[in-house]
Structure 1
Amino acid sequence: MRRMDWRTVPWLALLYFLNFLDRGNVGNAKLYGFTTDLHITDTQYLIALTVFFFPYAVFELPSNIVLKRLRPSRWLAFIMFVWGVTMTMHGVIKNYAGLVGLRVLLGLAEAGLYPGIVYYLSCWYKRSELGTRVALFFTSATIAGAFSGFLAVAINKMDGIGGKPGWAWIFIIEGLFTVVCALVTPFILQDFPDTAKFISEPERVWVIRRLQADMKFSAGGESFKWKYVKQSLTDWKTWLASIDGPLFAFSLFTPTIINELGYTSTDANLLSVPVYVWGCIVTVIVGFVGDRYGKRAGINLILFGTGLVGYIILIASTNPALSYFAVYLAVAAWVSSNVEGSYKRSATLAMAIGWGNINGAVSSNIYRAVDKPWYRMGHGVVLAYIAIGWLSSLAFYFFLKRENARRDAGERDEVIVGVDNKHADEKNGTYESVEHARMDKGDEWSGFRYSL
């Protein structure tokens, strides 16, 4: 297990670190004259941020399907290479049109990474182990948020070198490092348990069997069928799990919000660091507690509640120190565990995350220059998102709990040939064996129980 951890989580964390760093560094560059030098208005800047999210949302589903059908190590490396080159080009653009084109391409290339990683990990770990691993790799996003402030301050000191401003070097250096990591990824990242070279054959059998015992039968191999995608698109869980707009508003505008409270550009970038450090600590704790006790609904509700308090303070406050404290509360927020079948899980993750990313298009337009320094409209919209997220989590919990109760009562039992079962109903399907029912129905199988 430790060897699995070392061969999967650290490199995935690095990839997501670069993903988040490259996506959000435009906020740091803005503080150093990026928009001024390119003669970009506030409205144009918001539009450029917005166009990123449409290809980002649309391409997540096909990307996850391609990742499963091809090799994850190669596919993730390919999309990394594309976005690394795109990020580097941010440093040489001359006008608004160039920025819009690059943001569209960046959204297209970055789309597949996050849902791809979560799906990939779900093919290695049991449901009771997944939360901690996802939390560990996701902390790289909070670390990126913290590190981007330090990095922007340091790289900006290159202002004038090669005739380029400091903000250009932020894009160029960070983009080139992503390209280098993309080139070595195929040699570092293993694919699925049934093909991984770092485990022996007995270990491979052990890994696959323990996943099968955890109802993740697909780790042993599953043929692609379009019905799995259809199952995902018609599953209510896919659509109820799509509230993550606040993440993008937070990452893109935190330096600007702090800057407008009266701090200099450098101080604003540096003051964003402890906010993300706190987020990193909370993320690890949440992942560990979720796996240890399995009460993900309660954790979700507590975290959304904390976010509500944070943004209420941000809306009500006219005190810079109090507003800065509220940002800590705001940063402090279970679908893959409740979707069975490799392809359905990959499609559901992509759809849930992708639909949520369309919310990012909204959140990119709510922090307007005319609302500075307190940005109450932006905070109010994010507050509404968090409130919807709280209600969605509550509904998710009650619906899953009710479905588990129906399955315990036998209401979902299939007809199994040769097995006498008074609860069996033909409307739930007729199968040659329990294994056939399990393979065909995934998380809709009567023996599957949702984690709460």
Structure 2
Amino acid sequence: MASIRNANPATTPGTRTASLSEKSSDFDRKEDLSLSSDSDNTYDPDAGASDEERAAIDAALLKRLDWKLIPWLCVLYLASFLDRANIGNAKIEGLEADINITGTQYNIALSVFFISYSIFEPLSNILLKRMRPSIYIPLIVIAWGICTVLLGIVKNFSHLCAIRWFLGMAEAGLFPGVNYYLSCWYKRSEFGIRAAIFFSAAAISGSFGGLLAAAIAKMKGVGGLPGWAWIFILEGIATVLLGIASFWLVHDFPAECTFLADDDKVRVLRRLKEDKQASAGTEEFQMKYLYQSLTDWKTYTACLMYMGVDGALYAFAIFLPTIIKELGFTATKAQLLSVPPYVLACLITIATGFYADRLKQRGIFNLLLPLFSIVGFTLLLVQSKPAVSYFATYLCALGIYPCISNTISWVSNNVEGVYKRGVTIGVFIGWGNLNGVMSSNVYRKADAPHYRLGHGVVLGYLVVGLWGGSAINWLLLKRENRLRAEGKRDHLVEGMNEEEKLGLGDVRPDFRYML
């Protein structure tokens, strides 16, 4: 891990003002803030402080992290989701007719995005770690912003597919990258609400996107361009500007960031160690971490859960405006009516993150919330009344959006080791997003206005993937915790020293999985 001796001198309220050079000589002889097995003897910036003082310092530090890390990342994800889903808004403004493509070709263009997105996601977290977030994230934001602008000048099917491919490649690093990044800053019981707030930007973008598209589409004819072209161009330019600003507003990992003083960096790493994240910020990449992830059953239950919810998410996000329009509303009204379900989804997503952290239980939410979506898609499947169908979209949103961030938090909480966690997050999110190919092709134009094939397939994803995968994951985690409590995993660490035990990550017998 990199040395932190040249860190920003600013510090959290209540921090002692002495510099590191004035601290104990034992700490001075250390080259970094390694959280290895002997780290209990490293410098403690709060030595001698009372429990109340420590709690106050910790609360101030956590508040500072939240304000420095979360808001800007939410803005970037809002832009990301807006730029991948605005093709649905462009469609109902005449994209297909203007560039002379069929419904099947439109679906292929949607699929192309998810293929490149999924291919590059598993690698993105390794690149994020090696290149530093403050460089990697701004670069990919600028790249996908340029791709979005180019979508506004496409002339045919080939142009559309090519640009959607590169859009997926550029966006691949943000969502898994930020979730991995945040998991390296917060305790397991604190991560859920932050992940939920971050992901709620997707729901906000759904509502914001509908309103924005309705307004921008009125520019039809300006510069000789159709309204849908201006949706891509203006949103893409805004994203490029956000990417440029990100060079100053995205921060690096705890040990290398510049907005924390030396003492606060020690505190962040100590908090993670106390939370059994013993390798936080200290590992160097080795192939064994890739092997550990790919041979861990939790990686595959994560894939099952996430394919179930992600397939449903993209079907909902991309086709909601079309579904509403087919109920008999005009294009503009369909854009506007797509807003309220997203507002509900945003509120429930944040509430789920908050209560899951408070209760330290995530599985129960993944078992209860999908029931709403299952009822919603069942209503869409079996009846045709516009009012009932529109009500069903609220149920669909309520059960899908909260389970995205909750699933990511649940999996992240139960994988120890920064590189193993990074690989695992990249793998299961990448696999989940590959199922966007399904979402792009089961809502066929020939099935309008009721889209029963699409609704039926998505319903199967929710029942088998999200709900079924969550049930399997919860039962296996509970069983493993019981076996560890009974001492039936103690043989795994026999003859090992402390450093070797820490190297086992979440396989350590003293590590308890969050249910």
TM-score (structure 2 length as normaliser): 0.84
2:371 matched residue in structure 1? 305
Q: What is the alpha-carbon distance in structure 1 between the residues aligned to residue 221 and residue 319 of structure 2?
A: 26
C-alpha displacement of 1:177: 0.7
Q: CA contact under 8 A between 1:128 and 1:292: conserved in structure 2?
A: yes
Shift of 1:432: 4.5
Please say which of residues 242-251 and 35-44 is displaced more in the overlay: 242-251
Instruction: Judge conservation of contact 1:8–1:190 (CA < 8 Å) in 2.
Output: yes
Task: Assess if the C-alpha contact under 8 Å between 2:377 and 2:396 holds in 1.
Answer: yes
Task: State the match for 1:316 in structure 2.
Answer: 382
What secondary structure, in the 3-state scheme, does the structure 1 residue paired with 2:279 have?
Answer: helix
What amino acid sits opposite 1:433 in the alignment? N
- In 2, are the aligned partners of 1:58 and 1:354 still within 8 Å (CA)? yes
Deviation digits for residues 278-325 of structure 1, max 9, x if unmatched? 100110110001000012111111111111111111111211010000
Query: Are 2:70 and 1:6 aligned?
Result: no
Task: Look up the match of 2:504.
Answer: 441
CA distance in 2, matches of 1:432, 1:325: 58
2:481 counterpart residue number: 404
Q: 2:245 aligns with which of 177, 184, 200?
A: 184
- Counterpart AA for 2:261: S
What does residue 173 of structure 1 align with?
A: 234
The question of 1:378 aligning with 2:454 is answered yes
Counterpart selection for 1:134 from 191, 195, 198: 195
Match of 1:342 in 2: 418
Match of 2:434 in 1: 358
Q: 1:430 to 1:225 in 2, by over 3 A?
A: farther
> Which residues in structure 2 correspond to 1:97-246 (within 5 Å)?
97-242=158-303, 243=307, 244-246=310-312
Cα displacement (A) at 1:431? 5.3
Cα deviations across residues 97-120 of structure 1 (Å, max 9, x unaligned)?
000001111111111111001000
Aligned counterparts of 1:226 and 1:178: Cα–Cα separation in 2: 35
- Give % identity: 51
Query: Where does residue 450 of structure 1 map in the other structure?
Result: 513
Q: Determine the structure 1 residue equivalent to 2:133.
A: 72
Q: Is contact 2:281–2:418 with CA below 8 Å preserved after alignment?
A: no
1:417 equivalent in structure 2: none
Change in 2 beyond 3 A, CA 1:105/1:431 = farther
Asked whether the 8 Å contact 1:123–1:218 carries over to 2, the reply is no
What do you get for the CA RMSD once the two structures are aligned? Answer: 1.0
**Structure 1 counterpart of 2:345:** 279
Asked whether the 8 Å contact 1:31–1:256 carries over to 2, the reply is yes
Q: Aligned pair 1:23/2:84, yes or no? A: yes
Equivalent residue letter for 2:391: F
Query: 1:404 & 1:69 partners in 2: Cα distance?
Result: 34
Change (3 A) 1:108 1:431: farther
Per-residue CA shift, 1:244-301, capped at 9, x if unaligned?
Answer: 2111111110000000000000000000000100100110110001000012111111
User: Which 5+ residue runs of structure 2 have no aligned equivalent?
Assistant: 1-61, 404-409
| Contact kept? 1:192, 1:219, Cα under 8 Å | no
Query: In structure 2, what is the Cα distance between the partners aligned to 1:384 and 1:158?
Result: 40
SS in 1 for 2:258: coil
In the alignment, the residues of structure 2 paired with residue 9 and residue 311 of structure 1 have an alpha-carbon distance, to the nearest angstrom, of: 33
Q: Distance in 2 between matches of 1:90 and 1:218?
A: 43
Return the offset for 1:436.
2.8
Aligned to 1:390: 467
Q: 1:431 to 1:15 in 2, by over 3 A?
A: farther
Superimposed CA distance per residue, residues 393-428 of structure 1 (whole angstroms, 9 cap, x where no aligned partner): 000000001111111122222xxxxxxxxxxx3xx2
Q: Partner of 2:338: helix, strand, or coil?
A: helix
Q: Is the 8 A contact 2:94 2:228 kept in 1?
A: yes
Q: Does the aligned pair in 1 maintain the 2:86–2:232 contact within 8 Å? A: yes
For residues 2 and 174 of structure 1, the distance between their equivalents in structure 2, rounded to whole angstroms, comes to 31
- Whole-angstrom CA distance in 2 between matches of 1:196 and 1:52: 33
Separation of aligned partners in 1, 2:221 and 2:123: 42
Moved more, 44-53 or 195-204: 195-204
The answer to whether the Cα contact below 8 Å between 1:145 and 1:276 also exists between their aligned partners in 2 is yes
Inter-partner Cα distance in structure 2 for 1:28 and 1:278? 20
